């Protein structure tokens, strides 16, 4: 494929409900979206998972715009790309900025698949025709509200319930959940809210039979997590710390986790995600696809990635209607009893609804 034109957008969409984690609350999702057009008029789409504050990671919508505009897009424009794997190689000498890189890299994957009349799943080597999904529930003002939400999500058929925790909103919350729902597949995500000082406190979570605890310690740590994993029975799942296949290799060698959450934005794209997937498979580490409150394009890429065989645990890829009054893709992502069907159209398998997209676009720049 050869990108003849690239359109960069900043898009702003309001979430149905604010989403609260240990690091803050999000109500509006502001993100970069790219459209890569080749000489044949095929279009590939890529969505950044960064938002407007550097809380989950150091990247923001604004830093993404800068990286894409000044460094990443100029590198790809007019260049013959024989395979999407080349893109991450060409970006390697630019440090970090993985979410910005992934925006463009995933668009090239979509374009490549469309050019070869394949689904993105086929291009990636995925197998599944449907995927199982769970739901990530933000921190709630009180336990009663949380229990009601969990009940509603269970009725909808979600295969995994993930709740956000932080100091002061952990042990007693999980105890109440387990009282009400003794056997559901349940996990907790701390988003780096604890330190090794909290080991004894975190040991109390062992009694709740959680599938895993996600990223309890520092966002860039793998050393302390290895110490913690030796002292708790609950499997640790790393999210923030796994920024590359190399980071995954080190975490596995150190015993820092027993499960890994793969987010294509955090690791720089689909090629790196596949590498982490393959490495984990070799080491019997199950993986699942994390979410970053994506709109439709990001959601579609996550679905395609999840078709790889070692994605054995339900991911955070809930349907469009969980997040948005109106998504930018058609059809929207739907779910039936916790199962999402993998589309069989070319590339990501969803069309972007341009009329909707225009309404949500706040800034646009065309490179050709």
Residues annotated within the binding site for Mg(2+) are: 189, 214, 239
Binding residue for ligand OSB (CB under 6 A) from 38, 105, 239, 327? 239
Annotate 316-367 with DSSP letters as a single string: S---HHHH-SS-SEESPP--BTTEEEPP-SSBTS-EE-HHHHHHHEEEEEEE
DSSP 8-class letter at 311: B
For residue 247, the tally of other CB atoms under 10 A from its CB is 19
Annotated catalytic residue, options 29, 169, 263, 274:
263
Q: Which residues contact 2 (CB under 8 A, 6 or more apart)?
A: 38, 39, 78, 79, 80, 81
d(CA 185, CA 314): 10
Q: Which range of residues in 203-211, 268-276, 290-298, 306-314 is near ligand OSB by CB under 6 A?
A: 290-298
Residue 305 C-beta: closest distance to ligand OSB, Å: 14
Q: Which residues pair with 11 in a beta bridge?
A: 31, 361
Any contact of residue 189 with ligand OSB (CB under 6 A)? Answer: yes
Residue 281 C-beta: closest distance to ligand OSB, Å: 22
Give the number of residues in contact with Mg ion, rule: CB under 5 A: 3
Written as six digits, the tokens of 322 are 């969980």
Q: Is residue 27 classed exposed, middle or buried when 0-12, 13-18 and 19+ CB atoms within 10 A define those classes?
A: exposed
Q: Which range of residues in 217-225, 227-235, 291-299, 333-341 is near ligand OSB by CB under 6 A?
A: 291-299
Binding residue for ligand OSB (CB under 6 A) from 293, 303, 308, 348? 293
Strand 3-21's sheet: what is its strand order? 43-47, 24-38, 3-21, 361-367
Residue 49 C-beta: closest distance to ligand OSB, Å: 8
Any contact of residue 189 with Mg ion (CB under 5 A)? Answer: yes
Residues 200-219 interacting with Mg ion (rule: CB under 5 A) = 214
- The entry of Mg ion, ligand OSB, none near residue 22 (CB within 5 to 8 angstroms by kind) is none
Mark residue 337 as left, alpha or beta (left: phi above 0; alpha: psi -120 to 50; beta: remaining): left
Any contact of residue 56 with ligand OSB (CB under 6 A)? Answer: yes
Any contact of residue 338 with ligand OSB (CB under 6 A)? Answer: no
Instruction: Output the residue with the shortest Cβ distance to ligand OSB.
Output: 291
Q: Which residues contact 75 (CB under 8 A, 6 or more apart)?
A: 90, 91
Q: Which range of residues in 169-177, 203-211, 242-250, 284-292 is near ligand OSB by CB under 6 A?
A: 284-292
Q: Which is nearer to ligand OSB, 35 or 240 (CB)?
A: 240
Any contact of residue 85 with ligand OSB (CB under 6 A)? Answer: no
Cα 365 to Cα 7, 33, 47: the distances in Å are: 6, 11, 15
Is there a catalytic annotation at residue 341?
Answer: no
Is there a catalytic annotation at residue 114?
Answer: no
Annotated catalytic residue, options 29, 164, 166, 169:
164
Any contact of residue 273 with ligand OSB (CB under 6 A)? Answer: no
Any contact of residue 290 with ligand OSB (CB under 6 A)? Answer: yes
d(CA 111, CA 76): 13
- The entry of ligand OSB, Mg ion, none near residue 292 (CB within 5 to 8 angstroms by kind) is ligand OSB
Q: Which residues contact 101 (CB under 8 A, 6 or more apart)?
A: 67, 72, 87, 88, 91, 94, 268, 269
Binding residue for Mg ion (CB under 5 A) from 38, 239, 294, 316? 239
Residue numbers at the binding site for ligand OSB (CB under 6 A): 56, 136, 189, 191, 239, 290-293, 316, 318
Active site (catalytic) residues:
164, 263
Residue numbers at the binding site for Mg ion (CB under 5 A): 189, 214, 239
């Amino acid at each position: 494929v050869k990108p003849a034109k690239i359109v960069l957008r900043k898009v702003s969409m309001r979430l149905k409900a604010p989403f609260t984690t240990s690091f803050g609350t999000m109500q509006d999702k502001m993100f970069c979206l790219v459209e890569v057009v080749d000489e044949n008029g095929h279009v590939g789409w890529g969505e950044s998972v960064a938002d407007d504050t550097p809380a989950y990671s150091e990247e923001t919508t604004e830093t993404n715009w800068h990286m894409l505009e000044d460094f990443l897009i100029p590198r790809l424009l007019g260049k013959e790309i024989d395979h999407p794997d080349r893109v991450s190689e060409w970006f390697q000498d630019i440090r970090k900025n993985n979410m910005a890189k992934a925006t463009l890299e995933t668009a090239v994957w979509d374009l490549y698949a469309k050019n070869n009349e394949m689904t993105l799943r086929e291009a990636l080597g995925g197998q599944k025709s449907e995927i199982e999904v769970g739901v990530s529930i933000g921190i709630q003002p009180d336990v009663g509200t949380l229990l009601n939400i969990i009940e509603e999500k269970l009725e909808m058929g979600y295969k995994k319930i993930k709740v956000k925790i932080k100091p002061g909103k952990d042990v007693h919350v999980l105890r109440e959940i387990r009282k009400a729902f003794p056997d559901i597949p349940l996990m907790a995500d701390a988003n780096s809210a604890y330190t090794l000082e909290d080991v004894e406190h975190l040991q109390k979570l062992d009694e709740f039979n959680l599938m895993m605890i996600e990223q309890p310690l520092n966002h860039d740590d793998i050393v302390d997590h290895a110490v913690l994993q030796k002292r708790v029975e609950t499997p640790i799942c790393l999210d923030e710390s796994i920024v590359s296949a190399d980071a995954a290799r080190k975490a596995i060698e150190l015993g820092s986790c027993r499960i890994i959450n793969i987010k294509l934005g955090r690791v720089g794209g689909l090629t790196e995600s596949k590498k982490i997937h393959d490495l984990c498979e070799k080491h019997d580490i199950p993986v699942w696809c994390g979410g970053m409150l994506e709109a439709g394009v990001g959601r579609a890429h996550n679905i395609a990635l999840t078709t790889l065989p070692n994605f054995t645990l339900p991911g955070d890829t809930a349907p469009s209607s969980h997040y948005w009054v109106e998504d930018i893709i058609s059809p929207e992502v739907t779910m039936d009893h916790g199962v999402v069907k993998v589309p069989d159209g070319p590339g990501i398998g969803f069309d972007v609804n341009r009329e909707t997209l225009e309404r949500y676009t706040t800034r646009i720049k065309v490179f050709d």
